[in-house]
Amino acid sequence: MGLMAMNLRVPEDLDRRLEKLAAEEHTSKSALLLQGAELVLQRHARRREIGGGLDFVMSHDADLLKRLEDA
């Protein structure tokens, strides 16, 4: 797995909070930021999956949904 370097500017308050959490968790700020990035990517992927599922239901079960609405 290749690693890429990146410069990141964070507000002082966020940096202080990351520093505190990193010390509590015995990890680095970099590791915390990587975890956060992974969570953001997972959340977006999940939203796309849910949206796709809803689109499928709305298009394939439109008649059923209309009957349920009228019941």
pLDDT score of 55? 87
pLDDT score of 45? 95
* pLDDT tens across the length of the chain (71 residues): 788 999 999 999 999 999 999 999 999 999 999 999 999 999 999 999 999 988 888 888 888 877 888 77
The dihedral built from the CA positions of residue 30, 31, 33 and 37, taken in this order, carries a sign that is positive
pLDDT score of 3? 87
As a three-state string, the secondary structure of the chain is CCCCCCCCCCCHHHHHHHHHHHHHHCCCHHHHHHHHHHHHHHHHHHHHHHHHHHHHHHHHCHHHHHHHHHC
pLDDT score of 15? 97
Q: d(Cα 1, Cα 53) in Å, to the nearest integer?
A: 32
pLDDT score of 61? 84
